[in-house]
Amino acid sequence: MKIACAALFIGVSLAQTPDPKPAVVAGKVVNAQTGESIRKAELTLTTSLMPDGVEAMAAQMGLDTGVVAGQPGAKGPKKTFTATSDPAGKFRFDAVAPGDYYFTVKHRRFRGPDLQGRRPEQSEGRLHLTAGRELGEVEFRLVPHGAVSGKVVDEDGDPIADAMVTASKFSYATGHRKLQPSDTGTTNDRGEFRVSKLPPGRYYLSADVVALAQSLMGATPPPPKDGSPETGYVTTYFSRPRTSSRRKPSK
């Protein structure tokens, strides 16, 4: 009888063990330049930055998921919580399980983020949430993308359709300074283009017709069948006309 009572007492004790109280995270997303609220920003709290399914594949191969991702691996199954900022730029995560998370925010018209008001539980892009923690007044300041628009014409001033326009900037790779493309756009039937998603910086703008034809056909176009001279356009870089600072002599 004593043994049965002891087993019953243990069962009741285990049943009464409370679950950890969830944490709450709230804040706002704003424009870093104007301070205006940003709506429809997509925010994520996740225990792993690896795509879904990759962790299971790495585990089957006996690989450390942290090594594969280049980040510290998460303990236990991956947890992800999502939220979207409202018209006032505010967001809120309710009922977040305690643990270590990566805190990310994305918006198609902005880059970033720059997390302001960093607290002791936030370090190196990670956020530590304890049971019952209410973390408020978190502010993400996003930098708006730059954009360039214009027109591509031939030597007669006629528009060129389907030309590839590229915005490139210098960066270092393997110890060498190279011009790397940042974003591209294609001209419409009026020769008009728009290149966006450009972080702040200095860019070189170029238009190329041959590169687009090669990419579509998979090879260099064949020469004219009638034997006429083969012509084409070379890659052309935009150059802003220089204005003279010399003043006209007065009469």
Give tens-digit pLDDT for 3-24. 555 554 444 445 555 678 999 9
Taking residues 73-90, what's their average pLDDT? Answer: 85
The domains of the chain are located at 20-144, 146-237
- 141-193 pLDDT, tens digit each: 998 888 899 999 999 999 999 999 999 999 887 888 999 998 899 999 999 99
Q: Which residue has the higher pLDDT, 30 or 65?
A: 30
Residue 121: pLDDT over 50: no
User: Identity (one letter) of the amino acid at 83?
Assistant: A
What sign for the dihedral angle of Cα 51, 57, 61, 66? positive
Residue 116: pLDDT over 50: no
Question: CB–CB of 74/127 below 8 Å?
Answer: no
146-237 in CATH: which number? 2.60.40
Q: Report the candidate in 42, 71, 43, 40 with the shortest Cα–Cα distance to residue 55.
A: 71
pLDDT of residue 69: 46
pLDDT of residue 219: 58
- SS3 labels along the chain: CHHHHHHHHHHHHHHCCCCCCCEEEEEEEEECCCCCECCCCEEEEECCCCCCCHHHHHHHCCCCHHHHHCCCCCCCCCCEEEEECCCCCEEEEEEECCEEEEEEEEECCEEEEEEECCCCCEECCEEEECCCCEEEEEEEEEEECEEEEEECECCCCCECCCCEEEEEEEEEECCEEEEEEEEEEECCCCCEEEEEEECCCCCEEEEECHHHHHHHHCCCCCCCCCCCCCCCCCCEECCCCCCCCCCCCCC
- Give CB contacts under 8 A, 24+ apart, made by 116-123: 116/140, 116/141
Rounded CA gap, 197 and 152, in Å?
Answer: 20
Residue percentage of the chain with pLDDT more than 70: 67
Residue 220's pLDDT band, with cuts at 50, 70 and 90, is: low
Entry pTM: 0.60
- Decide if 20-144 and 146-237 have a common fold: yes
Taking residues 217-234, what's their average pLDDT? Answer: 70
Residue 116 buriedness (CB in 10 A; 0-12 / 13-18 / 19+): middle
Residue 127 buriedness (CB in 10 A; 0-12 / 13-18 / 19+): buried
Rounded CA gap, 18 and 117, in Å?
Answer: 33
Question: CB–CB of 89/28 below 8 Å?
Answer: yes
Taking residues 68-89, what's their average pLDDT? Answer: 76
pLDDT of residue 111: 78
Q: Which fold has domain 20-144?
A: Immunoglobulin-like (2.60.40)
